Amino acid sequence: MKTIVSYPCAKINVGLQVVARRDDGFHELRTVMVPVPGYCDEMYVEFGSGKRSGIELELEGCDFQESVEENLVWRAYDALRVYSPLPVRVRLHKRIPAGAGLGGGSSDAASALRCFSSHCSKDVSRMELERIALNLGSDVPFFMRGEPCFAAGRGERLEPIKLPLRGMYLVLVTPRLHVSTKEAFGWITPMNRHKVLSEVLANAPIETWQADVTNDFLPELVKRYPLVCDIIERFQELGAAFTSLSGSGPSVYGLFKHEIEFPTHTFVDCKVYVGML
């Protein structure tokens, strides 16, 4: 038996523009995604155990709203069946909250794809792996790369980008709110911009981002959930260089140039992560 342990990490979005609605029902996006290497799930993959073929998946760590068969790790294995992957037992311990705009499920899927595809009887080409990743979810191709990227299209057109974030402190707050991604897109009127997000970020210091780097979901989310506005205002009071929404929410983050301390009651009834990028 061979066991592989991986730590699929969360991401944050630095800016998110909904540019147009596509004919295939998806939306054309522009965003920059940044991995958060310290905020991770844990995945234990054991090959050659359990069933003679197929996958056994054990989920733990949070309340799952989906069946095991609907989980993206299971679906990643299913997508590779034509390549005869080895039988496997997986234990997935969730730390990243689901449906929070942090890409936890997509990150799990990317880690699973990398692991399973390297233990198939038939070779899986890079092009096919990228196709499978996109079919699993719009954020999965980004997590296959694992580096800051400017993303366009559904999120599959990726370009590495350098941002002045090394050494920045990140405070990430997830309120106990459920925000349906499908519903959130219904709040947005797509709009093209003259300013390209990647150019704004590449040419401006972080202190100026607040005026020009926007997340289109934020104004609508604030209208419906005042708590989101409260969290952003608290970050600004604490001296954040930049604060925004991740994905379609409800997670909100602040970037700080220095380590900060705040009372434990600052963000009541929220899940809080503090780390360094």
Q: Of 139, 160, 181, which closes a domain?
A: 160
CA 150 to chain CA centroid, nearest Å: 14
Q: What is the pLDDT of residue 52?
A: 64
122/258 same-domain check? no
One digit per residue, the tens of pLDDT, for the chain of length 277 reads 689 999 999 999 999 999 998 888 889 999 999 999 999 999 999 998 656 679 999 999 876 677 899 999 999 999 999 999 999 999 999 999 988 999 999 999 999 999 999 999 999 999 999 999 999 999 999 999 999 999 999 988 999 999 999 999 999 999 998 888 888 998 988 988 767 788 888 778 998 999 889 999 999 999 999 999 999 999 999 999 999 999 999 999 999 999 988 877 889 889 999 999 9
173/242 same-domain check? yes
Q: What is the pLDDT of residue 63?
A: 67
Q: What is the pLDDT of residue 203?
A: 79
Helix (H) or strand (E) holding 5, with range, is strand 2-6
Which residue, among 9, 39, 249, has the nearest Cα to 106 in the 3D structure? 9
For residue 222, give both structure tokens: 């604030």
139/258 same-domain check? no
Q: Of 160, 191, 216, which closes a domain?
A: 160
Which residue, among 47, 15, 59, has the nearest Cα to 34 in the 3D structure? 15
Q: What is the CATH number of the domain that holds 232?
A: 3.30.70.890
For residues 228 and 252, the answer to whether their CB atoms sit within 8 Å is yes
Q: What is the pLDDT of residue 269?
A: 87
147/180 same-domain check? no
173/152 same-domain check? no
Model pTM score? 0.94
Which residue, among 39, 129, 37, 121, has the nearest Cα to 76 in the 3D structure? 129
41 catalytic, yes or no?
no
54/115 same-domain check? yes
57/130 same-domain check? yes
134/208 same-domain check? no
139 catalytic, yes or no?
yes
Q: What is the pLDDT of residue 124?
A: 96
124/215 same-domain check? no
Q: What is the CATH number of the domain that holds 23?
A: 3.30.230.10
102/226 same-domain check? no
Q: What is the pLDDT of residue 178?
A: 82
Q: 11, 41, 94, 216: which is the annotated catalytic residue?
A: 11
Q: Of 160, 194, 211, which closes a domain?
A: 160
264/192 same-domain check? yes
Q: 41, 108, 139, 216: which is the annotated catalytic residue?
A: 139
**Structural domain boundaries, residue 99:** 2-160
Total domains present in the chain: 2
DSSP characters for 58-99?
Answer: EEESS--SS-GGGSHHHHHHHHTGGG-BPPEEEEEE--SPTT
